[in-house]
Structure 1
Amino acid sequence: MVAFNKFFTSVLLAIAYASTVSAAPWPTSSKHATHRVRQVTRDLQIETFHPASTFETFGAGLDHPLQKRADEDLKGSAISFVSQHLSIDPSTVNLRTQAATDTVTHAFLTQQHDGIPFANAVANLAFKDNKIVSFGSSFIKPTQIASSTPSVSLEDAVAAAEKALNGKANDHQPTLEFFAKQDQSVVLTHVIQIENDQTGAWFEAFVDAHSGEVVSVTDFVTQASYRVLPIQQEILTQGFQVLTDPQDTAASPQGWHNTGSGSDTTDTSGNNVVTYKGATTATTQQSSSGDVFSFTQNQSQAPTAQANLDAARTNAFYLVNTVHDFTYRYGFTETTFNFQQSNFGKGGAQADRVQVSVQDSAGTDNADFSTPPDGQSGRMRMFLWDLTNPERDGALENDIVVHENTHGVTNRMTGGGTGRCLQTTEAGGMGEGWSDAMADWTEKTSATVADYVMGQYVINDPAGIRTHPYSTSSSVNPLTYSSVGTLNEVHNIGEVWANMLHNVYAALVTAHGWSATSRTNPNGTEGNVVHLHLFLDALLLQPCSPTFLSARDAWIQADANRYGGANKCTLWKAFASRGLGVNAANHVNDATVPAGC
């Protein structure tokens, strides 16, 4: 990816000066929703393929085949519906994971053959009041399926993956999965995680178990009292404050300094996150007893000065914990694949708190987040920015930390905790957009919806790092759905989606007002509360490899599920104002809204 004329091989925060032109000089690509070209190493470029997903929403819900049976369960109901709806043999469908929120139960399924799952042919169902309210699918009709018995050994496959991806296999257990190719043929693959500690690369490699070829990859990298920059602020000039006991014990029942083992920590490590420099043991210790972390940042000194480093580790620790707590309140919990060292017996996979490497030496002028499957730690890397003297620290710009952490939320919730479902160009672009939109949400301090600018501090430029401010004004930000057709880079595409969500937020706040307690009280009726509920609810509803269209439909259905469709017209009008109306398709704008709106 391109950032300040430097090429990155992972999906990073990515930068575009506000003065640059947003439209790329290449034509629209019909592959946005199914493909993505990845420069994996200097010598290896792979065009990954993901079967096109379909998405259907059913308003108040459809009856399903096993609805009235006394022995009805989620697995049986989901498999029965999918097999009947797609006219396929039930033996070719299996339940992979399930999740539940306060309104909807979700089933995430895979296509299978001979009991072996397909990696990239998946489906998801949502049930409300024992009715089906949405169905997403990327199941295929295979033209040819390889033998289920490998002819290439796992050892040889590991060697091939390590050589191709310039890394080493980690200790995650490899799996055997089928992989659907573009011609609808299906190959058998060894699935192996490959990491490079020097570059921070972290891939899931799919190695043909009969030819030894690397056929595809998943890139997991996307890009007490504490003296911190409060989360509703963006840049250091707004001032550090000492916040006492900011943890939300409804989301972090043993506080931020306990890993579920019964003993408290006295450094920047806990159940949700550990922040460090160089090694996970290189944390910041409390400045005085009683969980006091008070370090005064000195902008005239280098970021590496001890007080500045401690301030950065403390600020990142506070921010990631805070995002954990408010997203937990709104549905990103143990059973919906969040990041925690201990899940306190509440379900889901644990031992996966976020690891934040502050002032990481692997890069500059950027940041990234790696999202492996549920049960493996998310990894955030915050780099220094060398555009000023002294350099500036990305861990001290709140919107960058929130942006990166949100990659973990969206990659885990979309598709049921695999980390595999935002890999196409369009879905990856929306991933960047959700991350900007979450940062935008955290920094609103009143019902006034001002234009929002990302990344002012690190580059010392009030125009920030995006091509336009996020705005309800088309003269300030002209991006619409049709802009996607002229763009071929995920961060530029992300700006289109983030600006749409900025407009949705403004419409909801205009309609319902604004709550100052939204981060700790998700039960309000105010517009910012509604917005975050729909934001997270829609992630679980949408299909793997979503598009702008299916993500929009997931928001509409999320409103039907939680609010009985009370915001249907508000949402449609906001999306349509940026070209994503009822008849929008193929990156062609449409301003139509449903009858009655």
Structure 2
Amino acid sequence: MYQKKLHPLLFLLFLLPNLLFSQMQTPLDIALRYIEAQRHQLGLSTNDIRNIYLSDVYTSKHNRLTHIYLQQTHQGIEVSSALINVNITPEGKILYIGNRFIAHLAEKANHPTPDITASEALQNALAHLDIENDEPTRLIKKKNDRHYIFHERGISLNPIPVQLYYFPSKDKSVRLVWSLMIYTKDAQHRWQVKVDAHDGKILDIKDFVIHCDFGKPDKTCLEEDHLHTNIAKPLKSSSHKKNKPTDNNGQNANRSAFLNTYNVFPIPIESPNHGDRALVANPANPLASPFGWHDTDGAIGAEYTITRGNNVHAYQDIFNNNNSIGDEPDGGDNLDFDFPLDLSQNAPYTQIDAAVTNLFYWSNIIHDVWYQYGFDEAAGNFQQNNYDNGGVAGDYVHAEAL
């Protein structure tokens, strides 16, 4: 993604002659001039669009649309979620504009100087979440007067960022807050807490960990206004079944002629109830994963023979501590991930290699498919190495089998 960079003089562009713009307009120029010309239709004042900066800009390879994201600020402080995104065609036409700016921001925002410190805000959040902390919070890094990183020891799985924002509250006012993120030690919650920077009250709290509860099983599969008339077929054992491998185009292939073989429930089979496992050879898409699924250095040859690579690191996490214990399935030099799976046996932990292999396969499939629709490096996808294609690297997916 594009690194945030302040542009306090963006609107000096509008003072330049129209002739100059006709000769050198960039997508950013087009976006800014459009917002200025259409501010009344957008419900914004001149002040609302004066102090903005470029949050992100990139061009999609598949359709050549340029996507521009502009961040609203007040007194140099970001307004949470206050963005305008402008999508511009290769011909320089506005295709779509999305507006989440706060109208009449200066009238709604309170004083920009906090009355409590970032550390005090963190203590208030811990108390609200009933998280005990026997040690005083320790500062790791002060990026500036508005952004701090605190030590996670005894509190969180990750270091705790605390940053000053303006937050649009439910009463339509815009409050100065300390926004922080706490990933609890049991990995059950990832709390985002917004603490009022003046009186220390908790204004907003969200959990970024999703918990699913499907309730007790019902033999009739009946719920209110919901009926399954088709009964799924029984799960089949596939521990001894050997299928011919298929290549990335679904054609039968000679297994000995390929590297990268995975015994999985292949796309489009969505679950064991919908089909059988098959041996799939070389499934990596050459555009999305040009060096395969086990590369990280951008040169021919795999860096890993386990279920790890540029897009995904898949491993079992039965202890739910978000860490591998080093027992990932190993395909050897030929990257042959063919492990037994017998779904008639109620012993999932003895078949973990097959499960992790399937998880690795599907996580990479998602990466490669979404890449075709514009979710590439510049758009902020998840890769260890971006292969000089723009964006920010070092954010591959940790896929955990529980």
Structure-2-length-normalised TM-score: 0.67
Q: Quick one: which of 77, 88, 91 aligns to 1:127? A: 88
**8 A contact 1:274–1:280 mirrored in 2:** no
Alpha carbons of 1:314 and 1:303: their partners in 2 closer, same or farther (altered >3 Å)?
farther
Contact 1:251 1:329 in 2 (8 A): yes
Q: 1:199 Cα shift?
A: 4.3
Residue of structure 2 in register with 1:258 after alignment: 295
Match of residue 123 from structure 2:
159
Rounded to whole Å, the distance in 1 between the matches of 2:126 and 2:52 is 32
Match of 1:180 in 2: 168
1:383 is aligned to none
CA distance in 2, matches of 1:106, 1:207: 32
Per-residue Cα deviation, 1:511-563 (whole angstroms, up to 9, x for no partner): xxxxxxxxxxxxxxxxxxxxxxxxxxxxxxxxxxxxxxxxxxxxxxxxxxxxx
Pair 1:261–1:254, CA change in 2 (3 A):
closer
Question: Could you say which structure has the larger radius of gyration?
Answer: 2
Aligned equivalents of 1:81 and 1:358: distance in 2? 48
- 1:290 lines up with 2:334 in the alignment: yes
Residue of structure 2 in register with 1:462 after alignment:
none
Change (3 A) 1:258 1:166: farther
Q: Distance in 2 between matches of 1:259 and 1:66?
A: 48
Partner of residue 379, structure 2: 336
Match of 1:197 among 165, 176, 185: 185
Whether 2:353 is the aligned partner of 1:310: answer: yes
- Write out per-residue CA displacement over residues 122-168 of structure 1, whole angstroms, 9 at most, x where no aligned residue: 22111112121211112222343122222211111122223323563
CA 1:154–1:71 in 2, change beyond 3 Å: closer, same or farther? Answer: farther
Work out whether residues 303 and 309 of structure 1, in 8 Å CA contact, stay in contact via their aligned partners in 2. no
Residue in structure 1 matched with residue 51 of structure 2 by the alignment: 92
- Report the TM-score, using the length of structure 1 for normalisation: 0.46
Gaps of 5+ in 1: 1-64, 360-597
Matches within 5 A, 1:454-493: none
> Take 1:190 and 1:74, find their aligned partners in 2: how far apart are those partners?
34
2:73: which partner in 1?
Answer: 112
Pick from 199, 204, 207 the counterpart of residue 195 of structure 2: 207
Matches within 5 A, 1:10-49: none
Mapping for residues 133-532 of structure 1, pairs under 5 Å: 133-140=95-102, 141-142=104-105, 143-166=107-130, 168=155, 170-171=158-159, 173-222=161-210, 224-237=260-273, 238-260=275-297, 264-278=303-317, 279-306=323-350, 308-359=351-402
The 8 Å contact of residues 305 and 332 in structure 2, kept in 1 or not, is answered as no
Equivalent-residue separation in structure 2 for 1:212 and 1:333 (angstroms): 40
Q: Give 1 or 2: higher helix fraction.
A: 1
Change (3 A) 1:329 1:148: same
Q: Structure 2 vs 1, CA of residues 163 and 82 (structure 1 numbering), >3 Å: closer, same or farther?
A: farther
Q: 1:250 to 1:261 in 2, by over 3 A?
A: closer
User: SS at the partner of 2:285?
Assistant: coil
Using the alignment, how far apart are the partners of 2:327 and 2:29 within structure 1? Answer: 47
**Alpha-carbon deviation of 1:261?**
6.8
Q: Secondary structure at the match of 1:305?
A: helix
Measured against aligned partners, the alpha-carbon deviations of 1:241-299 in whole angstroms (never above 9, x if no partner) come to 11111111211122101223756101111111111122234452324431011111111
Q: Secondary structure at the match of 1:198?
A: coil
Determine the C-alpha separation between the residues in 2 that align with 1:166 and 1:277: 30
Give deviations 1:192-211, integer Å, cap 9, x for gaps: 11111314311322222112
Question: 5 Å matches for 1:527-538?
Answer: none
- The unaligned stretches of length 5 or more in structure 2 are 1-17, 40-44, 132-154, 212-259, 318-322
Q: How far apart, in 2, do the equivalents of 1:72 and 1:317 lie?
A: 45
- The 2-side partners of 1:166 and 1:328 are apart by 41
Q: 1:213 to 1:76 in 2, by over 3 A?
A: farther
Which residue identity is paired with 1:91?
R
Of stretches 219-228 and 319-328 in structure 1, the one that deviates more from structure 2 is 219-228
Residues 166, 199 of structure 1: CA spacing in aligned structure 2 closer, same or farther, 3 A cutoff? farther
Sort the Cα spacing of 1:66 and 1:304 in 2 relative to 1 into closer, same or farther, 3 A.
farther
- Once the two structures are superposed, residues 467-524 of structure 1 have per-residue CA deviations (whole angstroms, 9 ceiling, x without a partner) of xxxxxxxxxxxxxxxxxxxxxxxxxxxxxxxxxxxxxxxxxxxxxxxxxxxxxxxxxx
Q: Check 1:95–1:247 CA distance in 2 against 1; reply closer, same or farther (3 A cut).
A: same
Aligned length: 294
RMSD across aligned positions (CA):
2.4
